[in-house]
Homo-oligomer: A and B are copies of this chain.
Amino acid sequence: MNFKIKFWYLQLILSVLVFSIVLQKTFGQNNTKPPNFIIIFADDLGYGDLGVYGHPTIQTPNLDQMAHEGQKWTNFYAAASVCTPSRAALLTGRLTVRSGMSSNKRRVLYPNSKNGLPASEITLAEQLKKVGYKTACIGKWHLGHKEQYLPTNNGFDYYYGIPYSNDMDMVVEIPYWEYWKLDNDAIKTNHFNVPLMRNKEIIERPANQNTITLRYTRETISFIKKNKENPFFIYLAHNQPHIPLFVSKEFKGKSKRGLYGDVLEEIDDGVGKIIAALKEEGLENNTIVVFTSDNGPWLSFKLNGGSAGLLRAGKGTTWEGGMREPGIFWGPGLIKPGLVSGLGSTMDLFTTFSRLAGVKIPGDRIIDGFDLSETLLHGNPSPRKKLFYYRGTDIYAVRLGDFKAHFITQGEYGQFGKKEVHNPPILYNLSADPEERYDVAKENPDVIKEINSLISEHLSKLVKGQDQLLETE
């Protein structure tokens, strides 16, 4: 062994040593690996749909337990009130007005859409791959179904799922009122010719949606078991409880809340199985599991949509019910248990998990995520004090601390809901008045002034991305 090689060895040993010390300092224990991350992302789940968030008849004992052992966030937000922008923002840590993944003309991507997430965007999966993570996207993608836009081209080693919403590729025209029925047995999984993909291949079409939740859970557990030696990141994006609702036989009729409750109880059961698998593999002390959803409940589907609990309105709107979601962080070795009423956003996962994995935040672009790690690990106050509620590419509302100013309000998307511009804005104190009932604009001119300068500052730096949702073929 010559001197050069010896020196290289010494350097390596030193580097490993320093890295270990940094990790130990960060995580307070003797881990030599950065933590695993699992994001469980429901589709159209309401703020009020879990037991621990107040639902009287949907039983979610596994999620309740996670909230009890970890952190239950009560001001945690999806970055948009509809699917495509919400997912794009989560994975990139950026408002989609920047990436072009939101539009004022088309709410989401459709099977005839031409584009998807621009290659220039950096996903959380791409970030984590830089430091050796194994990455999987299991479930709904909805950021472009053509090959170049698929998860496997966006930092994910593995993909298994339906590339867009489960109500697309409709074969039979189903009237709204069929969806309104509590027991909507007339709606069959083969009415929707959606593909199920593994990596870049379609392996089933129409996807059998009756077993889709179950199969997503199984795929997740299988990925955990195969990659237990690596650090891993799993983005498990359930297609449910988005309409049409489907469950496996075991859960059909199980809940008191009808089919919607059955679906949630199956998702909860899957969460329990994932936690059990982590424990079985001895990974529970070095894994963070997050549970949240892409946007609020789709209220126009009545009892086949969810409930925002005490919050106002639902999916498609910038009222609280449209964007505030359950936010449960679990990880017995890492997360300091507690109730968190500070602000958080799904965009913060990009920044926080990059930081915890030791990956640099990209310096060449504006990142909207905040690093929540001090809150998660030590219970410190959340660093996030503001939040922009975009609809399409327009700011409809802004939250600053306890307050939220509505500049524009509008009902659910499509033909529903009239658009109203508010000048001066409506102002609510959301901490005291989470139901958005009492306008306190007159009493708080300074808050409105501060919010206005926040908007000016934000807009002065904003470069709007080219609309990626518009083009079809």
Flag if A256 contacts B307 (CB, 8 Å).
Answer: no
Q: Does A279 contact B (CB under 8 A)?
A: no
Stretch at the interface among A49-57, A108-116, A160-168, A288-296: A49-57
Cβ-defined partner of A56 (8 Å) among B75, B257, B258: B75
Residues of chain B within 8 A of A54, CB atoms compared: 48, 53-55, 309-310
Q: Mark A14-53, 1 if CB is under 8 A from B, else 0.
A: 0000000000000000000000000000000000100111
Stretch at the interface among A94-102, A148-156, A374-382, A429-437: A429-437
Flag if A57 contacts B431 (CB, 8 Å).
Answer: yes
Flag if A59 contacts B341 (CB, 8 Å).
Answer: yes
Within 8 A of B (CB), among A405-447: 429, 431-435, 437-438
In the assembled complex, the Cα of A263 lies from the Cα of B327 at a distance in Å of 26
Residues of chain B within 8 A of A64, CB atoms compared: 68, 339
In the assembled complex, the Cα of A210 lies from the Cα of B303 at a distance in Å of 45
Residues of chain B within 8 A of A385, CB atoms compared: none
CB nearest to A256 among chain B residues: B431
Interface hub of A61, A303, A324, A437 (most chain B Cβ within 10 A): A303
Task: Count A interface residues, CB 8 Å.
Answer: 37
Closest chain-B Cβ to A125's Cβ sits at a distance in Å of 31
A432 with B256: in contact, given A75-B56, A302-B437, A339-B51 (CB under 8 Å)? yes
Q: Does A121 contact B (CB under 8 A)?
A: no
CB nearest to A261 among chain B residues: B432
Q: Does A172 contact B (CB under 8 A)?
A: no
Closest chain-B Cβ to A24's Cβ sits at a distance in Å of 30
In the assembled complex, the Cα of A429 lies from the Cα of B341 at a distance in Å of 33
Closest chain-B Cβ to A428's Cβ sits at a distance in Å of 11
Cβ-defined partner of A429 (8 Å) among B72, B182, B435: B182
Residues of chain B within 8 A of A61, CB atoms compared: 339
Q: Does A300 contact B (CB under 8 A)?
A: no
Q: Mark A335-362, 1 if CB is under 8 A from B, else 0.
A: 0000101000000000000000000000
In the assembled complex, the Cα of A182 lies from the Cα of B258 at a distance in Å of 39
In the assembled complex, the Cα of A54 lies from the Cα of B302 at a distance in Å of 21
Residues of chain B within 8 A of A59, CB atoms compared: 339, 341
Flag if B309 contacts A256 (CB, 8 Å).
Answer: no
Q: Does A74 contact B (CB under 8 A)?
A: yes
In the assembled complex, the Cα of A437 lies from the Cα of B74 at a distance in Å of 25
Within 8 A of B (CB), among A57-107: 57, 59, 61, 64, 68, 72, 74-75
Closest chain-B Cβ to A373's Cβ sits at a distance in Å of 22
In the assembled complex, the Cα of A309 lies from the Cα of B434 at a distance in Å of 10
Residues of chain B within 8 A of A219, CB atoms compared: none
Q: Does A402 contact B (CB under 8 A)?
A: yes
Interface residues of A (CB under 8 A from B): 48, 51-57, 59, 61, 64, 68, 72, 74-75, 182, 256-258, 261, 302-303, 307, 309-310, 324, 339, 341, 402, 429, 431-435, 437-438
Q: List 18 A-B contacts (CB under 8 A).
A: A48-B54, A51-B72, A54-B54, A54-B309, A54-B310, A56-B324, A57-B74, A57-B431, A57-B434, A61-B339, A64-B68, A182-B429, A256-B341, A256-B432, A257-B431, A258-B432, A261-B432, A309-B309
Additional A-B contacts beyond A56-B434, A257-B431, A303-B433 (9; CB < 8 A): A48-B54, A54-B310, A56-B341, A57-B431, A57-B432, A61-B339, A256-B402, A261-B432, A303-B438
